[in-house]
Every structure is written in C-alpha cells, then in structure tokens.
Amino acid sequence: MKQLLFLLLLGGAGLGLAPTAARAQTTDTTRTRPAVKPQLNTAPPGSAPVPAPPRPAPATVPPVYQPAPTAPAPDPNVPASNAPYDPNRPSGMDLPQRPGVAPPPPPLRKYFLYTNLGLGFSGYNGYNQFSASIAPAVGYRFSERFAAGPGLSYAYNSYAFGNGGPSFKTSSLGVKGFAQFIVYKEFFLHGEYEVTKAEVLGYDQFGNVGVYKGTVKTPLAGVGYRNRFSDRAAADIVVLYNFNDGFDDIYGQPVIRFSFLFDLK
C-alpha cells in the first residue's frame, strides 16, 4: 500500500515539472533565433556568381588655358611719376619709365670751358694779313639755349706788303666777352666783343708803315654748328664777321674758329 502511494506521488511530480521544462526550452529557442531570415540561393546549380561591375576611374579634366594678366595700357598724356625730378635722388629710387613716355631731361650743367682756335686771312690796302688766335673762356648757361661768359684772347698776325714791300709780325693780348644762342638743334648764333692791347700797323709822321702799340676794340658776330662727342664734350665750328675791318684790325676777314666745349657741372 505504501509503495503504491509513493509511485503516484512521483508520477504527479513528473507531470508538474514537464510544462516548466517545455517553457524553458521554448524561451531558449526564441532567444537564439537569428534576426534576419537567411536567403536561399536561387541561382541554377553550377553557375558562378556574377561579379559586380568595376567602378569607372574618375575622368581627368584638362586644365583650362588662362592667358597671363596684362597691365592696362598707359595713358601717354600722364607721366610715369608725378613726383618732381630730383637729381640728388639715388638711381635705385627712380620709377621705371613707361614705354612711349619721354624720360625727364638731364639736369642743366651751368658752367663749361670754351676754348677756341681762330684763323683769318684778308687783303687790305696793298698788303696781305694772316692771323691765328687762341681764346680760352668760361661760360655760364642761363637756360638750355642761352649762354655767355668772359675770357682771354691772344692773337698772332703776319703782314706782308706786295711788290717787295716790308713784312711785320705782331702779338696781341686782351679780354673778351661772348654770348651764344641756340637757334635750331645744333645751330647757334655767336657774338663777341674784345678789348685788346695790340700791336698794329700804323704810319709815322713821314708816312712810313710800322708797328705801333695801342688799344683795339673788335666786335665779332656770326653763326656756328656744334657736334657733340658725349653728354659733356663738343666741338664747334664758327664763322664770324669782323666789324673792325680797318687798318688796326688784328683778325682779318672773315674769322673762322674751331672751338672745344667741356661741361664742368
């Protein structure tokens, strides 16, 4: 009797524990189920999977040609710099000169040396006269076209009378002043006035010709042409008319001079 009751209790306990185990097994299965349902391979058997097409490489875009920037055309009526020209300014501070715009003129050199060599020949009252002279001077430019200055003069003369007459040689030393005015480009007007302690020809009380000392005043005027060797040196040729065309003349007629000019500063 006791054994039968014991068997019945075991059977009831087994029935009570069975639903719990079943529920535990169901819960565990639900927890391990994958979140995504696997896809079945629908491709026919034996066919390889089709690879994805390759992505094309990015196309290389050629660079767009762009012309170099150009400066605007300068106005020819506007100077390159509005600053006044300063001759003492260092050259490195000068602004570049624009094409088509004339550079500023160089500074005016005020002082210059002016030395001339003169030749003259004339015939007068039965004799012939040959003269040679040298006259150094210092000039001053008042402007680009006008200059003047003082100087010294020395003249040598040779007189020869015809028909076997006598001949004389004289020397004269004096002071002078000159002026020049440029008319057109290299052509200029030239004038001088000299006061000379000279040896000149004269007659004595018996009518004999001889050499006498005296003061001679000689005005000269004419035209000249200048040929520049550089920005500081030049050579002139000048043809002058001698207004003292008399017996006490020391230069002859006309007077041709070759002059040399050198700018000081």
- Map out the domains of the chain with their CATH numbers: 111-263 (2.40.160.20)
Is the predicted pLDDT of residue 24 greater than 50, yes or no? Answer: no
Cα–Cα distances in Å, from 49 out to 21, 44, 54, 235? Answer: 45, 10, 15, 105
Percent helix, strand, coil in the chain, to 5, is: 10, 45, 45
pLDDT at 181: 96
198, 155 Cβ separation under 8 angstroms: yes
Buried residues in 55-69 as b, exposed as e (16+ CB within 10 A): eeeeeeeeeeeeeee
pLDDT tens digits along 162-183: 777 778 888 889 999 999 999 9
d(CA 214, CA 211): 10
Least confident range from 99-103, 157-161, 223-227: namely 99-103
- Helices and strands in the chain: count of H runs, count of E runs: 1, 8
pLDDT at 215: 87
pLDDT tens digits along 218-242: 899 999 999 998 888 999 999 999 8
Cis peptide before 254 (omega within 30 of 0): yes
Is the predicted pLDDT of residue 148 greater than 90, yes or no? Answer: yes
| pLDDT higher at 259 or 253 | 259
Is the predicted pLDDT of residue 152 greater than 60, yes or no? Answer: yes
Is the predicted pLDDT of residue 159 greater than 90, yes or no? Answer: no
- Quick check: helix, strand or coil at residue 106? coil
- Quick check: helix, strand or coil at residue 13? helix
Q: Average pLDDT in the 99-112 region? A: 74
As a whole number of angstroms, the longest Cα–Cα distance in the chain is 214
